[in-house]
Amino acid sequence: MKISKKERRSAVDIWTYIVRALAIIGWGLFVFALIVSYYAAPDSDYGLLRYHNIEIRKFWLTPLTGYLYIVLWLSALCSYFCLILDKYRSRRKSDGKHFNILLLLTITIAWVSFILVQISEANIG
């Protein structure tokens, strides 16, 4: 026989709204970082561009790269705070695991590492 447990939560508290807002802000910053990286990254070297002697930028734009770092770290901080708040606020097995926030944190840190490696290789070569 299964005993049904009564749900004691009367309403969503302020911390849940904060976690949701931080998650939305984190993903919004991530999308904004995608746009900034499009303009900051070096151009692709296509054969058609070489054929028509069109100049190709082979370096990262320094001012935009600085903004990109800031946006990516802010996105990572938002997702980290979401995970911390969620760890202390979620006590039931039925609470969501929020794998999307963990994915956002992982991708953001990997992206910053990738950019650092690319810039250091460009400075060496």
Q: Which of 7-11, 59-63, 110-114, 121-125 has the highest mean pLDDT?
A: 110-114
Output the pTM of the full model. 0.79
- Greatest Cα pair distance in the chain: 78
pLDDT one-digit tens code per residue, 10-40:
667 788 889 889 999 999 999 999 999 999 8
pLDDT greater than 70 at residue 95 = no
pLDDT higher than 70, residue 2: no
Q: Identify the DSSP state of 91.
A: -
| CB 19 within 8 Å of CB 12 | no
pLDDT at 26: 95
- Interatomic CA distance for residues 79 and 20, integer angstroms: 10
pLDDT at 7 over 70: no
Q: Are residues 68 and 37 in contact, defined by beta-carbon separation less than 8 angstroms? A: yes
Q: Concatenated DSSP letters for 3-16?
A: PPPPP---S--HHH
